[in-house]
Amino acid sequence: MNNSKNVLILVLVAAVAILGYLYYESQQSAVVIDAPGFKLEAR
């Protein structure tokens, strides 16, 4: 019982770390596509 609880906690911590990293990366780099008559900016 205790082992499965530890695995669950580990998975939750890993998920939070991955989501936090992806959020940080998305905030740091901006993607800008600038073409004639079309402009796309993604942050």
**What's residue 21's pLDDT?**
85
What is the number of structural domains in the chain?
1
Q: What percent of the chain has pLDDT over 90?
A: 33
Q: What is the pTM of this model?
A: 0.52
Sequence-distant (≥ 6) Cβ neighbours of residue 43 within 8 angstroms: 26, 27, 30, 31
Tell me what the mean pLDDT of segment 2-14 comes to: 92
Eight-state DSSP code of residue 40: E
Tell me what the mean pLDDT of segment 18-26 comes to: 82
Q: Residue 27's domain spans which residues?
A: 2-42
